Amino acid sequence: MPALLLLALVVVPIAELYVIIQVGQQIGALPTVVLLVVVSVLGTVLLRREGARTWRAFQAATSAGRVPAREVVDGALVVLGGALLLTPGFLSDVVGLLLVLPPTRALLRGSLTSWALRRMVPPTARGGQGALGGFGRPGGPGGPGRRPRGRGVVDGEVVRDDDPPPPPP
């Protein structure tokens, strides 16, 4: 986590400044500033459009009585993309556009959902084996209601000969 914080607070702003300076040297300072302002304004327009579209999809999902999981992820990506589009810098604008535009957002949503499921859902719930091979964990081969496959398990009752007979009624 500290490395991610270092990246966000130190490396990214330095990279943004480097790119802004390089663009400024190529096209001039005033055109660079104008380009940054234009991209921010266009980002705001795009953010409003995609935010409204995502909100309508969220409302439609809840009205239909289904869980709006996809719409919630889309909303979070649009908000994050909008924040990056409003932040001055060309690198953040590129990432912001990727998060706000529907085709790339769908790709990122799928990747993000897969990553989150791998991090949150135990492997046995996904049908895989955990660190202990799934034994002793709910849903694993040794869990309740599950039998190991191919081991010839037979349901039965243990009867011992030395048990006293039940008392007569």
Local confidence pLDDT in tens for the 169 residues of the chain: 688 888 778 888 899 999 999 999 999 999 999 999 998 888 889 989 999 999 999 999 999 999 888 899 999 999 999 889 888 899 999 999 999 999 999 899 888 888 888 888 776 655 555 444 444 444 444 444 555 555 667 777 777 777 677 778 7
Is residue 47 within 8 Å of 99, Cβ to Cβ? no
* Domain boundaries defined on the chain: 12-120
Q: In the prediction, which pLDDT does 5 show?
A: 83
Count of CB atoms situated within 10 Å of the CB of 122: 14
Residue listed under structure tokens 């949503």:
109
Q: In the prediction, which pLDDT does 75 show?
A: 92
Tokens of 114: 């897969």
